[in-house]
Homo-oligomer: A and B are copies of this chain.
Amino acid sequence: MRRIAADGETFSWDRNVAEATARGWWFPEPPGRTVVAVDDDDTVVGTAVSGPNHGGPAAHVATASFMVDPDFHGGGVGRALGEHVLDQAQADGYRAMQFNAVVETNTRAVGLWRSLGFEVLATVPEAFHHPVDGYVGLHIMYRRL
């Protein structure tokens, strides 16, 4: 997590986020859920957090965030996590899933979510300051469950 946050290319987190802060975000109270993906040696290679995107009368739409160890990019970890989280959200009774801030230059993530049935509802213009590409958009992505 520290490496992904420090990299500053995909997460809307402080690049030097404190461990306690990140733990707070990644381990929400129920009905929030946290999962990890492990390889054959039980090494954690990715993780996801999910839960309601808003509360009360809007709590039937889920959201989720995903991190994959950069050393394991391209190995299907994100897809496995995504499929699991979608299945679990459907089982939990959510009616849709919404991602609030997918960096438009994160083409690996955007392509993965599209392949799993998400569409871009809107792109918030220049909402993310990428260390290489400058101001780029944040996609709001959505799919029914």
Contacts and interface: CB of A to CB of B under 8 A. Distances in A.
Query: How many copies of this chain are found per oligomer?
Result: 2
A1 interface: no
A96 B126 contact: yes
A129 B12 contact: no
A80 B112 CA distance: 44
Interface in A58-105: 58-61, 95-96, 98, 100-101
Interface residues on A, range: 35 or more
Nearest to A16: B56
Given A100-B100, A140-B140, A15 B126 contact: no
Interface of A: 5, 8, 11-15, 17, 53-61, 95-96, 98, 100-101, 121-131, 138, 140, 142
